[in-house]
């Protein structure tokens, strides 16, 4: 009998958040103190509210950053890691016949751009060590490349993704778009896929992950990056993306409520523009952690986010360190629904 699968939205009640901690053998080595400060800041915000699972080679040194009170919600697991982009190497949580399961898709460093030999083994290792609740089923799908940042679920059968990422080289060729869509429907239990074919961020290594551009805030609301400056290199593509989003319809057939987030002020490392984005926020049980960049636009973005989440606390997290390695807050975190930890 075919399993009934559903893919919970990020705002589904959570048991915790999973991250991987930066260390000297990652690309963070040159700015390790700076990025560790960022990790400590957002980790404390999570630990105030729910459990935090930290994957790292040396748990003892990571625990030392936190008070005994904070450690009550802290879980650590020992594993070698190539990098810290948990959104993309962590398992995808689904409900299979109403019971918790986690799909372990393949992670290959965003189409063989970077080494991922350790990160691709993290999920199976955590299961082998009994880190997750014993009731969570492990589903290996390592022959299909899929990163968590590439998919957005409304929890009711709609998936949003970008064609640029899903059809990018060195991921799932020679599969065509219709074949990938059929695979996603079968394995994630979704009924429809909204394909975004425009929009990008300069400096992004992921081939335009949806979580840097447009995000479900509830079943009928999408927050997205809006560019209103014709002189900005993103203007044309993000204008086209905005038009696409206006054409999308909810399952009830009505247009989505669209909440524009400002295009983040340009940030450069040497001469390369970094992918600063306000769309890379993390939804917790009673708060939204929102990336900030020490810019006057931070307050504008927080006000817009409050419209999307009127009953949630919006907490700004300085993510200037994270974008130096071309990601932001959502990219380094993965939510685990109720019952997983």
Backbone angles phi, psi at 27, to 5 degrees: -65, -10
Output the pLDDT for position 111: 73
pLDDT of residue 116: 82
H helices within the chain, ranges in order? 32-47, 59-63, 68-71, 86-89, 109-112, 122-128, 163-166, 177-188, 235-247, 297-308
For residues 133 and 51, the answer to whether their CB atoms sit within 8 Å is no
pLDDT on residue 1: 66
pLDDT digits (tens, 9 = 90+) for 18-66: 999 999 999 999 999 999 999 999 999 999 999 999 999 999 999 999 9
pLDDT at residue 29, rounded to an integer:
95
Supply the pLDDT for residue 109: 78
Whether the CB-CB separation of 323 and 28 falls below 8 Å is answered with: no
- Long-range contacts formed by 197-201: CB under 8 A, 24+ apart: 197/162, 197/163, 197/164, 197/244, 198/237, 198/238, 198/240, 198/241, 198/244, 199/162, 199/225, 199/234, 199/237, 199/238, 199/240, 199/241, 200/164, 200/234, 200/237, 201/225, 201/234, 201/275, 201/276, 201/277
pLDDT recorded at residue 115: 75
* pLDDT score at 117: 83
Q: Which domains does the chain have, with CATH numbers?
A: 5-337 (3.75.10.10)
Give bridge partners of residue 215 from the DSSP assignment: 223
CB 332 within 8 A of CB 322: yes
The string of pLDDT tens digits covering residues 299-319 is 999 999 999 999 999 999 999
268-269 and 152-153 as β-strands: parallel, antiparallel, unpaired? unpaired
What is the per-residue pLDDT for 3? 83
- Of the candidates 221, 228, 207, 215, which has an alpha carbon nearest to the alpha carbon of residue 256? 221
Contact predicate 247/274, CB 8 Å: no
**Which residues lie closer than 8 Å to 68 by C-beta, 6 or more apart?**
none
Which segments of the chain have a pLDDT < 50? none
Query: In 3D, which of 300, 321, 254, 313 has the Cα closest to residue 32?
Result: 321
**Phi/psi-derived region of residue 199, left when phi > 0, alpha when psi is between -120 and 50, beta in every other case:** left
């Amino acid at each position: 009998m075919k399993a009934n699968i559903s893919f919970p939205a990020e705002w589904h009640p959570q048991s915790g958040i999973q991250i991987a901690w930066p260390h000297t053998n990652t690309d963070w080595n040159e700015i390790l103190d700076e990025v560790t400060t960022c990790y400590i800041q957002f980790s404390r915000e999570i630990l105030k509210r729910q459990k935090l699972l930290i994957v790292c080679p040396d748990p003892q040194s990571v625990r030392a950053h936190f008070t005994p009170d904070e450690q009550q919600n802290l879980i650590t697991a020992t594993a070698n890691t190539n990098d810290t982009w948990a959104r993309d190497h962590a398992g995808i949580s689904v409900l299979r016949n109403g019971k918790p399961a986690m799909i372990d898709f393949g992670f290959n460093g965003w189409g063989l751009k970077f080494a991922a030999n350790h990160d691709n083994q993290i999920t199976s290792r955590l299961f082998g060590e009994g880190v997750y609740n014993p009731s969570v089923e492990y589903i290996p799908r390592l022959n299909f490349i899929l990163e968590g940042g590439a998919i957005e679920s409304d929890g009711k059968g709609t998936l949003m993704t970008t064609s640029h990422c899903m059809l990018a080289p060195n991921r799932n060729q020679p599969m065509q778009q219709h074949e990938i869509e059929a695979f996603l429907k079968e394995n994630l239990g979704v009924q429809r896929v909204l394909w975004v074919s425009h929009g990008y961020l300069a400096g992004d290594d992921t081939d335009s992950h949806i979580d840097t551009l447009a995000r479900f805030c509830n079943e009928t609301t999408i927050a997205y990056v809006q560019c209103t400056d014709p002189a900005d290199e993103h203007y044309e593509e993000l204008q086209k993306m905005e038009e696409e989003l206006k054409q999308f319809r909810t399952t009830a057939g009505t247009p989505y409520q669209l909440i524009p987030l400002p295009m983040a002020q340009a940030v450069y490392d040497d001469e390369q523009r970094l992918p600063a984005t306000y769309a890379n926020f993390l939804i917790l049980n009673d708060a939204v952690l929102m990336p900030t960049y020490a810019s006057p636009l931070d307050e504008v973005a927080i006000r817009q986010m409050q419209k999307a989440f009127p009953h949630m606390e919006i907490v700004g997290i300085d993510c200037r360190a994270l974008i130096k390695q071309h990601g932001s807050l959502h990219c380094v975190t993965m939510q685990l629904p109720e019952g997983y930890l």
